[in-house]
Amino acid sequence: MFKVLEVPLSASAKATVDAVTTDVTETRPLERRVDTVLRIGQSDGEDFLLAIEAQSDKKEAKAASWAYYIAYLQDKYRLPVLLLVVCQDRATAKWAVGPFDCGTSEWTALRIYPLVAGPDNLPLITDTRTVAQKLALAVLSAVAHARNPECGAILEAIGTVLQELQETDPETVGYFAEFLEINLGSTPAGMQRKEIMSFVSYFPGRGTVRETAYFEGRAAGEAKGILFVLEARGIPVPDSVRERVTTCTDLDRMDAWLERSRTVERAEDLFAEGPEPPGTGPEAA
């Protein structure tokens, strides 16, 4: 067939051929997340999807992930898909331009051309008025300049604008705040982001500030419940027990303690049953 199609595969006469399953369904759940996907509705053209990925360094495996994202989104939404990669340094931006090929050395089955933004082509936007007018561009600028000492000024301007929008457009505030938190990560700018990250959790399961605060709030509520039950039953609660209960953040463990609080004869007996998971014993508290 390859000869008929005039595709000169190397060593094709000696190649081995083995059947591979034709089922391309995922055999187990795999977490695949694009940083952001936007549907763009053009007034004078067709809608399309814009997938946005923040890239802090060169990772060869990303090419396969990007191909998957594009193919999956196009198949699911039946819309054209573009990929925008926001890079934090010149070398990564140069690599991310691609193209990235899927195929053999003799024939390319799929080729990806990402759009690339980075510190060389995204301006530093530190003026609050400009941020208010071009909020999305300012957020992408903050990600691209995350390693630049001046990024703090971008974040301060973004924070001012987000605070002003909180009352009128909380959805937009939550979206951009979460996008920054996810993509700034452990960069120098990421250390300055918490001031503008306490509004809304947009993506679940990412360990965000809002999400952490939510679970800490649940833990505090559980602690109050445990202590209330013990005190209502007339059981004295030593300071050591009170401290251990109020500083614990393991919700499963606290559920068990709450259940035991209804039957224990001493407050210390809350911790008597079952082995302690690593890192949660008295010495950890």
pLDDT along the chain (285 residues), means of 10: 65 60 51 74 82 86 88 89 89 91 86 90 89 90 87 86 84 82 74 57 50 65 85 89 88 85 90 53 43
Residues 182 and 152 in one domain: yes
Q: Does some domain include residue 232?
A: yes
Q: What does the CA dihedral 175, 176, 178, 179 come to, rounded to 10 degrees? A: 110
Tell me, yes or no, whether 147 lies in a domain. Answer: yes
Provide the token pair at 51: 């997938």
Last residue of one domain, picked from the residues 67, 88, 117? 117
Per-residue model confidence (pLDDT) at position 94: 92
Q: Are residues 111 and 46 in the same domain?
A: yes
Residue 95: predicted pLDDT:
93
DSSP state of 7: -
Q: For residue 52, is it within any domain?
A: yes
The predicted structure's pLDDT at residue 237 = 92
Whether residue 158 sits in one domain with residue 135: yes
pLDDT of residue 272: 78
**What are phi and psi for residue 231, nearest 5 degrees?**
-70, -35
What's the token pair of residue 133? 């007018």
Q: Please report whether residue 20 resides in a domain.
A: no
In this prediction, residue 130 carries a pLDDT of 92
* Domain tally, the chain: 3
Same domain, 216 and 265: yes
Would residue 57 count as lying in a domain?
yes
Domain final residue pick, 117, 141, 157: 117
Tell me the β-bridge partners of 117. 86
Give the range of the structural domain holding residue 100, as residue numbers without chain letter.
33-117
Residue 2 domain flag = no
How far is residue 153 from each of residues 56, 138, 156, 208, measured CA to CA in Å? 20, 11, 5, 22
In a domain, 285, yes or no: no
pLDDT score of 1: 65
104 plus 37 within the same structural domain: yes
Cα–Cα distance measured from residue 199 to residue 162, given in angstroms and rounded to the nearest whole number: 9
Is residue 144 situated within a structural domain? yes
- Residues 164, 132, single domain; the answer is yes
Radius of gyration of the chain (CA): 26
Q: Which of 25, 32, 19 is nearest to 64 (CA)?
A: 32
Q: What is the pLDDT of residue 170?
A: 83
- 10 Å Cβ neighbour count for 49? 20
Which of 96, 117, 138 is where one domain is finished?
Answer: 117
